Amino acid sequence: MLLALLLLALPGLRAAEGETMADRSLRRIVDRQRDLLAEAAKQGDKLDQEAFRTQAQSIAHDYELLLRNNPNFATAYAAYGYWLGKVGMAKEAAAMLLKANQLDPNIPLVKNQLGNHLAEDGKPLQAAPYFIAAIKLAPNEPLYHYQLGTLLVEARNEFLKSGEWSRATLDQAMHHAFHRAAELAPDRFEFAYRYAESFYDLERPDWDAALKAWSALEEKAPTTIERQTMRLHAANICLKLGKRDHAKALLATVDEAGLQGQKQKLIAQLAETPKKD
């Protein structure tokens, strides 16, 4: 997915008739790295590490040659930075991405990847502006919204300690980010799930809206156990709203063996929940 976004950043790679020789070279390299990564994922634990290392070095060599001949090719620096990150060379990857950003400050994927590197390096306050910049450049890319939401919730304490964010502002930005990601990618179940889950992260959640989110998600769930998992979440929300009868009815439909532990915890809560409906 990220490689596809990177290719879209280069106009020449969107129209074959407009490709330069450098564009074609980059396309070939990116195709090679995509195939290599796909094959590595397919082989899993059976991966021939030496063969992978040899091919990875060959790809790196091709990038170095391309950049030597085209020192101002921003998208090539971005693609190389992405590749270096995938093979565990984070410091070198960040350097390439910074060079790409210097040459062309309007590549959203570069902003996003720089944000990722800073977040992984324990610098969430520095990462946030890059994620926000990526969203401004590509407001309809769901991944960027999702990653901003993830950063805000995972590093909440650091944002609050900085004094630059209030809890209300942080919650609003985080919740909106997950909501927008789910809206933009309705077929991405994990985005919709994280949006529904984000109600739990709010200081002052709208439980009625949360119940609607989990109920809608149940309709999208592809398997029985996933649908029943959504029902457990909905039952939990019903308990928070004091809807005991609704919660009880939902719990009665959960019969998957792997969910019985969670079900019993909610049944115990049911006995302690005052009825409001």
Reported as a single tens digit per residue, the pLDDT across 190-200 is: 999 999 999 99
**Over the stretch 57-81, which tens digit does the pLDDT of each residue have?**
999 999 999 999 999 999 999 999 9
177-192 average pLDDT score:
97
Report the percentage of the chain scoring pLDDT > 70. Answer: 92
Does 31 score more than 70 pLDDT?
Answer: yes
Return the H-helix or E-strand segment holding 145: helix 142-154
pLDDT at position 275 is 67
**246 CB-contact burial (10 Å; exposed 0-12 / middle 13-18 / buried 19+):** middle
**Over the stretch 217-236, which tens digit does the pLDDT of each residue have?**
999 999 999 999 999 999 99
Please give the Cα distance from 167 to 79 (Å, whole number): 37
Please give the Cα distance from 241 to 235 (Å, whole number): 10
**How confident is the prediction for the chain on average, in pLDDT?**
92
For each of the domains in the chain, give its residue range(s) and CATH number, in order of start: 1-6+58-104 (no CATH), 106-205 (1.25.40.10), 208-277 (1.25.40)
pLDDT at position 3 is 58
8-32 average pLDDT score:
74
152-178 average pLDDT score:
97
CA atoms within 13 A on the CB side of 102: 9
pLDDT at position 103 is 97
139-156 average pLDDT score:
97
pLDDT at position 18 is 67
Instruction: Give, in order, the Cα–Cα distances in Å from 273 to each of 177, 212, 236, 238.
Output: 32, 21, 11, 10
Confidence of residue 91 (pLDDT cuts 50, 70, 90): very high
Confidence of residue 19 (pLDDT cuts 50, 70, 90): confident
24-36 average pLDDT score:
93
Please give the Cα distance from 132 to 128 (Å, whole number): 6
In degrees, to the nearest 5, what angle opens at C-alpha 61 toward C-alphas 58 and 66?
130
Does 141 score more than 70 pLDDT?
Answer: yes
